[in-house]
Amino acid sequence: MIAVNSISQLFRQHPNCGNLFRGFSKTSVMNDCRLAQDTFVLRQLFDKESWTYTYLLADYVAKEAIIIDPVIEQVNRDHSILKRLGLNLLYCANTHVHADHVTGTGELKKLIPTCESIISLCSGAQADKYVKSGDEIQFGRYSVEVRQTPGHTNGCVTFVCHDEAIAFTGDCLLIGGCGRTDFQEGDAETLYTSVHEQIFSLPDYYKVYPAHDYTGQTVSTIG
């Protein structure tokens, strides 16, 4: 058993980041919550068939929202939550082109025609807006910064909300491991560089929300 206290410690011990590791201790449950005195909304939603986490972020006062990594089978669930909270979905943003599920972006756009799709300029996929490192996605008084984190795929990005000290790392960085690098343009060295330069450069207290977990863990921290 490998005893580790943070994701960064694990990667220092194991630079071959194509594997998943166990024994990581810093986790907490946050399946449905509001932060920052009911102004910022974060919902972590789960698709059990693909083990995928979808994230709803919103400014509850401005009623503006974005969804990260929607799953096609869960579109009705996501749409229902938006309606119940009275939120206007501005963007569907994908961290990368997914191999394990079909994105729900297209179906959400049918239900909400004003919603725009977002993906990395390097992904090769179609979208309304293409993003690169340094771009920001605004919703109400909040925003997420785009950081390109290739390695799992060429088009992987991490979305960082500095207002709330949280990062949505897609398949680049999971809890106790990272995404596969043996297919889909994967490259272990590129992924290792992305994780260290674009994610581990964040402060230790930033929370990390991955696109998947297969052991029931929901969130971790950088340090």
pTM equals 0.83
Separation of alpha carbons 47 and 153, rounded Å: 22
What is the mean pLDDT of the segment spanning 28-35?
Answer: 40
pLDDT tens figures, 147-165: 999 999 999 999 999 999 9
Q: Give the single-character DSSP code of 214.
A: S
Which superfamily does CATH assign the domain made up of 7-221 to? Answer: Ribonuclease Z/Hydroxyacylglutathione hydrolase-like (3.60.15.10)
Query: Residue 18 pLDDT more than 90?
Result: no
* C-beta separation of 83 from 119 below 8 A: no
- Write the CA distances from 82 to 47, 99, 133, integer angstroms: 17, 26, 28
The partner residues of 60 in beta bridges, in order of sequence, read: none
pLDDT tens sequence across 40-66? 999 999 999 999 999 999 999 999 999
Q: How far apart are CA 208 and CA 166, in angstroms?
A: 6
Given a cut of 50, whether residue 32 has pLDDT beyond it is no
Distance CA 26, CA 28 (A): 7
The residue with tokens 């749409």 is 79
Quote the tokens at residue 107: 């179906």
